[in-house]
Amino acid sequence: VSNSVLSVYSGDFGSVDAQGSVEFCLDYDEKNREFQIFVSQCKELAVVDEKKGRSDPYVKTYLLPDKARMGKRKTAVKRKTTSPVYNEVLRYKIDKMVLLIQKLNLSVWHNDPLGRNSFLGEMEVDLASWDWSNTKPNWYALKSRVRIPQMRPINQRPKNPTSGEVHIWVKDTKDLPQLRPSGVDSFVKCYVLPDTSKKSYQKTRVIKKDLNPVFNHTIVYDGFHTEDLKDACVELTVWDHEKLSNHFLGGIRLGVGTGYSYGIAVDWMDSTQEEVAFWQEMMATPNEWIESSLPLRSLAGRRKFK
């Protein structure tokens, strides 16, 4: 893995909090076996570009738990507004019985021309308990995304801690090892250590038969306090996807590299000089994207996370 690199952008976005609401309604067309999401509008979304006082929002949907199976649906981008009107229908061809064991994830994003889109909020709907007789649009509050657990006792925290978000844009990898004549089917996993639960775990889609895959995948973690950044570590690992098991190709760990987390010695706080420099630059320049291409390496103490 010494010749492979992972391109990543990261940013500590404390000022872009999820806010506002989205108006939509759901329907199922029995005749065409089609799930329909009518996205009406949003209001009072967060401002991403504070200098210009603007956001360029769009709405994205997935059916969970298997995002890849049904794919995502997106509305058009509405520019220079925090209260966009869409009036669009997003459609999925799916049997009703299958639909009822899914969850709808609806999120709002700011569109960035370079692909570094900013998360503005989301909400989830358990379709098994949805009132399908209600076909009129209703307003729903947007919520923040993944929260990492607070690792320190409450009595050790400041009374009014500053909370923010860490955004990670996984751009691409280069020069992956050719394990098969057709190449590799790669994807990237992400955890925020010391948390290895499902709340922390996120991953990109699989890019097939490509030694230089482009992911352009944005990961958002909120609930970060400023002091947590010195004790947490973002672990990004690249894998070759196989039917029976996935093959580890290499990874990076973004942290301060002290060997300690919240005063406890840990083997995963072992960031290289390049990785430490990247993380420290992010901490020193909040609300700005930091870019780097970092070499993949074997990781000490790597566990078989879910």
> Beta strands of 132-185 (E only): which ranges?
138-141, 146-147, 163-174
Range of the domain at 255: 5-14+153-295
The answer to whether residue 305 sits within a structural domain is no
Confidence at 115, pLDDT banded by 50, 70, 90 = low
The answer to whether residue 67 sits within a structural domain is yes
pLDDT greater than 80 at residue 30: yes
Domain shared by 240 and 196, yes or no = yes
The answer to whether residue 182 sits within a structural domain is yes
**What pLDDT score was predicted for residue 148?**
44
Q: pLDDT over 90 for what percent of the chain?
A: 54
Three-state DSSP at 239 gives strand
Domain count of the fold of the chain:
2
Evaluate whether 274 touches 280 at the Cβ level (below 8 Å).
no
The answer to whether residue 304 sits within a structural domain is no
- Which of 121, 141, 161 is at the close of a domain? 141
Domain shared by 258 and 212, yes or no = yes
- State the greatest distance between any 2 C-alpha atoms of the chain, in Å, as a whole number: 61
Domain shared by 114 and 174, yes or no = no
Q: How far apart are CA 236 and CA 72, in angstroms?
A: 23
Domain shared by 169 and 50, yes or no = no
The answer to whether residue 99 sits within a structural domain is yes
- What H or E segment, with its residue span, contains residue 282? helix 273-284
Domain shared by 176 and 110, yes or no = no
Give the domain CATH number at 226: 2.60.40.150
Domain shared by 132 and 160, yes or no = no
The candidate with the shortest Cα–Cα distance to 6, out of 220, 215, 290, 270, is 215
Domain shared by 126 and 175, yes or no = no
The candidate with the shortest Cα–Cα distance to 300, out of 255, 268, 264, is 268
| pLDDT tens column, 248-270 | 999 999 999 999 998 999 999 99
| pLDDT tens column, 152-178 | 433 444 444 456 788 898 989 999 998
pLDDT greater than 70 at residue 292: yes
**Strand pairing class (163-174; 214-225):** antiparallel
- Which of 97, 114, 141 is at the close of a domain? 141
Domain shared by 179 and 97, yes or no = no
The answer to whether residue 187 sits within a structural domain is yes
> How many residues make up the chain in this entry?
306
Strand partners, 222: 147, 165
Evaluate whether 5 touches 174 at the Cβ level (below 8 Å).
yes
CA angle 195, 17, 15 (to 5 degrees): 100
| pLDDT tens column, 197-218 | 767 888 999 999 999 999 888 8
Domain shared by 36 and 111, yes or no = yes
The answer to whether residue 147 sits within a structural domain is no
Domain shared by 170 and 285, yes or no = yes
